[in-house]
Amino acid sequence: MLEIALERKSYDATLLCDIHLTISPGDRLALVGPSGSGKTTLLNIIGGLDRAFSGQRRLADPEPGIAYMFQEPRLLPWRTVMENLRLVCADRSLVLDLLDEVGLLDAANRYPRELSLGMARRVALARALALEPDLLLLDEPLVSLDPATAERMLGLVHRLLERRPRMALVMVSHDLADAARIGARVHQIDPQSGQVLLPSEEKSASAGQLLV
């Protein structure tokens, strides 16, 4: 589906280096690390939003559809929930089905200012799913949510993935437990080396590489 061979990504200093990532249909991958370790930068490279790096980003033919749920919901404030989703999907019945799936059918005619952060994130998730992606990218979907709302969001993501077994997922998180609970293979980014640390069962692989 998609392969990243990243040699180096730098700002003032090297941020990421020597990362090899292959994503196949149905993969569940979580990138975990402290703030500033390069998690979101790597996600942007995977999604094709950041091309200023040394290395290659190779896509399968035909190219996979990629949807990105950003940390900020990025909903247009002058449009209702329904209108925001219909910007990416003209099929009204599909939009209604997705809103029902994320538990927000009764919020279809509300404006973003009338939503809590957790509700707005669910709308953003429904918008991403409206694209019917082959690969879904989630950037810290639980950050800044209260524990009860984060628990509901985590359960929702898990259920959505179960219903879409062929859809691949890459999620950025600062919490190992959250990442593990959605069934993802957890890989930690080392902020000192800029490399991805392998799980214990893959210690025999080349150091500094991420193999999926």
- Confidence class of residue 152 from pLDDT cuts 50, 70 and 90? confident
Place of tokens 């859809």: 167
User: What share of the chain has pLDDT > 70, as a percent?
Assistant: 88
Highest-scoring range by mean pLDDT, 5-19, 49-63, 95-109: 95-109
Instruction: Check: CB of residue 20 under 8 Å from CB of residue 187.
Output: no
Does 209 have pLDDT greater than 50? no
pLDDT at 14: 57
Give dist(CA 110, CA 78) in Å, integer.
10
Q: How confident is the model at residue 136 (pLDDT cuts 50, 70, 90)?
A: very high
What is the domain partition of the chain in residue ranges?
76-132
List the structure tokens of 87. Answer: 């910007």
Mean pLDDT of 100-124: 96
pLDDT at position 180, please?
77
By DSSP bridging, strand 66-69 and strand 135-139 are parallel
pLDDT above 60 (res 205): no
In Å, how far are 12, 17, 203, 210 from 207, measured between CA atoms? 24, 11, 8, 9
pLDDT band at 138 (very low <50, low <70, confident <90, very high): very high
168 forms bridges with which residues in the sheet? 135
181-203 average pLDDT score = 66
